Amino acid sequence: MPAEPEVSEQAAVAHTETFEVTWYTAGPESTGKQPGDPGYGVTASGERVQAGKTIACPPEYDFGTVIAIEGVGERVCHDRGGHIGAGRLDVYVEDVGQARENGRQTLEAEVIE
């Protein structure tokens, strides 16, 4: 299992919020991109997707914002998504089966500064 992103002990929780959480992959079922496409696996921030680290979050959160999601763990906002607006998060996973199995959940999350 990938290591969780490290958060400084000085980081503070800005607020807790309820999000509708979904899961996505780099593949065509989520992004429309195929391996070999120039943008395959590249997030809106320019970072490469990483399981255990990458989330797509609404534009009100800056790239690099850390969000600790209930039952999921800490993830870093590196991506956006066409359907990711206020109150939504999309967690990157490598396996489409895992994305489908996790489905859509309503979860609490702490947005960390």
Domain boundary assignment for the chain: 13-112
Nearest residue to 51 (alpha-carbon basis) of 19, 20, 25: 25
* 77-104 pLDDT, tens digit each: 999 988 899 999 999 999 999 999 999 9
Q: Which residues lie below 8 Å from residue 27, measured CB to CB, with a gap of 6+?
A: 33, 34, 35, 96
Q: What is the dihedral of CA 68, 69, 72, 74, to 10 degrees?
A: -20
Residue range 13-112 in CATH 2.40.40.10: yes
b/e code 89-108 from CB counts within 10 Å (16+ = b)? bbbbbeebeebeeeeebeee
Share above pLDDT 90 across residues of the chain, in percent, rounded to a whole number: 82
pLDDT of residue 107: 98
Looking at the chain, the whole-number percentage of residues with pLDDT higher than 70 is 88
26 close to 41: Cβ distance less than 8 angstroms: yes
